[in-house]
């Protein structure tokens, strides 16, 4: 039986419905400096597919290879999931242009451009509108941006260990932790996060003590904001973390949960 042109078109389009979508960056991420903040041409599709979550991935700064891992690997992880469309950028101005079209923001930046009044105002307005936010690694550090750590991180990390360590899930029933092993090992920086007094949070996972503080520290938590859903993930220093299946599951679950899915 021969397929009509219309049926062939439907067959060709099926994979676009079943897997995530992303526009290819205008530049080759492998050729960028680890601390690049240049615009890379990230964009969403002209028309949003029904039922699709648009995820904006933003990150740039120092001490990490943002183009390769936070933009590159994390985009690949999310694009492999059904119903997600991603756009990614290293550039604050490009992020501001894309933010109104996004349903979820995955933010990992520590570059000073993200601390500008313009970017912080847009970030708070995004949250006030009920749009979901996932903070990854460097974004959950200590930043001098007025009000940022208080609202979005509920504290700060000012030190860390490094190496292979065990992570223990504390709230296995939470949607962000679905499919994550009860404990898993990861090679990463172990952030020494300290919560603000009275912080309204729910700790979902914690790192085993390292040889610096000799006490466990939260590594995944929910910040209980009255207007939106926020998940903080301290994991993600380099390739070993971004390629870790548990990290990838947590990231994907967090994106869906903050969007209310």
Q: What is the pLDDT of residues 219-248, one digit of tens each?
A: 999 999 999 999 999 999 999 999 999 999
DSSP string, 114-134: GGSHHHHHHHHHHHHTT-EEE
Nearest to 95 by CA among 64, 63, 137, 139: 139
Instruction: List the beta bridge partners of residue 155.
Output: 195
pLDDT band at 5 (very low <50, low <70, confident <90, very high): very low
- Mean pLDDT for 90-101 is 97
Q: Residue 20: its pLDDT value, please?
A: 56
pLDDT category of residue 25 using cuts at 50, 70 and 90? low
The topology (CATH level 3) of 20-156+220-258 is Rossmann fold (3.40.50)
Q: Which long-range contacts (CB under 8 A, 24 or more apart) does 178-186 make?
A: 178/249, 178/253, 179/249, 179/253, 180/205, 180/246, 180/249, 180/250, 180/253, 181/246, 184/244, 184/246, 186/235, 186/240, 186/241, 186/244, 186/246, 186/247
| Structural domain boundaries in the chain | 20-156+220-258
Looking at residue 224, what is its pLDDT? 99
pLDDT at residue 24, as a whole number: 56
Which band of pLDDT confidence, cut at 50, 70 and 90, is reported for residue 259? very high
pTM, rounded to two decimals:
0.89
Does pLDDT of 23 surpass 70?
A: no
Whether the CB-CB separation of 66 and 92 falls below 8 Å is answered with: no
């Amino acid at each position: 039986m021969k397929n009509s042109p219309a049926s062939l078109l439907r067959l060709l389009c099926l994979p676009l419905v079943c897997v995530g979508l992303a526009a290819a960056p205008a530049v080759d991420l492998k050729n960028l400096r680890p601390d690049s903040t240049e615009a890379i041409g990230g964009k969403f599709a002209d028309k949003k597919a029904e039922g699709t979550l648009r995820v904006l991935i933003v990150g740039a700064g120092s001490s990490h290879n943002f183009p390769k891992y936070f933009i590159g690997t994390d985009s690949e992880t999310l694009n492999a999931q059904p119903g997600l469309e991603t756009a990614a950028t290293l550039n604050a101005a490009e992020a501001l242009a894309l933010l109104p079209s996004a349903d979820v923001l995955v933010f990992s930046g520590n570059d000073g451009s993200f601390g500008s009044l313009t970017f912080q105002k847009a970030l708070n307005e995004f949250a006030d509108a009920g749009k979901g936010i996932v903070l990854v690694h460097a974004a959950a550090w200590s930043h001098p941006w007025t009000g940022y750590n208080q609202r979005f991180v509920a504290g700060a990390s000012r030190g860390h260990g490094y190496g292979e360590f065990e992570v223990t899930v504390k709230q296995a029933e939470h949607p962000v932790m679905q499919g994550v092993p009860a404990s898993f090992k990861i090679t990463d920086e172990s952030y020494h996060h300290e919560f603000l007094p009275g912080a309204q949070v729910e700790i979902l996972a914690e790192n085993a003590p390292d040889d610096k503080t000799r006490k466990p520290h939260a590594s995944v938590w929910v910040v209980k904001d009255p207007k939106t859903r926020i998940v903080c993930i301290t994991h993600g220093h380099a390739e070993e973390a971004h390629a870790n299946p548990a990290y990838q599951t947590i990231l994907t679950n967090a994106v869906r949960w903050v969007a209310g899915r």
